């Protein structure tokens, strides 16, 4: 069965818990910041909540476990309801990935905290937080890729001249297919995987250095 999963079978419970937290906070952040900018679309659909059932897409959730990538239920946003449409759109798109970065940072802090403590099941706890940090960094980087339908594409599109933006929008459906090919085919070894293999160890190392210094004080 493990041959059909992206993670070892014993790690699946940790992956599930991490995704429930990560997806919920990510989409909640989108909804809450959109409301701050005057867009109540997500609020009216009950998306400003910590209830993961409101944010998790079952198919996207299963895809993460099987294929190593997936998606949550997109938060509905109406940019033209926002007080500052362009700035609001960028900030709302950016806050989702940033929330995953903050979760990774907090997770690393908890990892070091338990590392200092002599508690039962410490190896299990450390393993969970290690995976928690990794998955949230994956979500942070993944969602900032400038490909539809990801947040990175939404951010980039706000800076494109209108003429280019309209041209790109006309090919969004094809771009989605291109995105799936990059992610689920062997091409990922030469396109997306090098990005993760470079950035995740670097970011993990920087956070670990911070907390190592912090806990030495």
Q: Which residues are catalytic?
A: 27
Q: Which residues contact 113 (CB under 8 A, 6 or more apart)?
A: 215
Encoded tokens for 3: 């041959």
Dihedral sign from CA coordinates of 52, 176, 150, 34: negative
**Cis omega before residue 149 (within 30°)?**
yes
Q: Rg (Cα) of the chain, in Å, rounded?
A: 18
- Outline where the chain has alpha helix (H): 12-36, 41-44, 58-67, 85-116, 122-143, 151-157, 162-170, 172-184, 193-216
CB neighbourhood size of 52 (10 A): 18
Q: Which residues contact 77 (CB under 8 A, 6 or more apart)?
A: 30, 34, 39, 41, 42, 89, 92
């Amino acid at each position: 069965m493990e041959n059909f999963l992206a993670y070892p079978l014993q790690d699946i419970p940790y992956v599930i818990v991490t995704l429930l937290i990560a997806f919920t906070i990510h989409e909640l952040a989108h909804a809450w910041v959109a409301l701050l900018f005057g867009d109540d679309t997500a609020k009216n659909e009950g998306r400003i909540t910590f209830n993961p059932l409101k944010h998790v897409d079952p198919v996207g959730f299963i895809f993460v476990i099987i294929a190593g990538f997936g998606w949550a239920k997109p938060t509905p946003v109406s940019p033209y309801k926002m007080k500052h449409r362009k700035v609001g759109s960028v900030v709302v798109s950016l806050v989702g990935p940033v929330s995953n970065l903050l979760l990774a940072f907090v997770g690393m802090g908890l990892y070091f905290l338990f590392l200092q403590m002599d508690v039962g099941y410490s190896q299990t706890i450390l393993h969970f937080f290690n995976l928690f940090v990794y998955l949230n960094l994956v979500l942070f980087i993944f969602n900032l890729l400038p490909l539809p339908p990801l947040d990175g594409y939404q951010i980039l599109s706000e800076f494109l001249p209108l003429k280019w933006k309209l041209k790109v929008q006309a090919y969004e459906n094809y771009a989605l297919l291109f995105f799936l090919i990059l992610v689920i085919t062997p091409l990922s070894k030469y396109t997306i995987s090098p990005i993760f293999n470079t950035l995740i160890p670097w970011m993990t190392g920087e956070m670990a250095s911070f907390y190592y210094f912090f806990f030495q004080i």
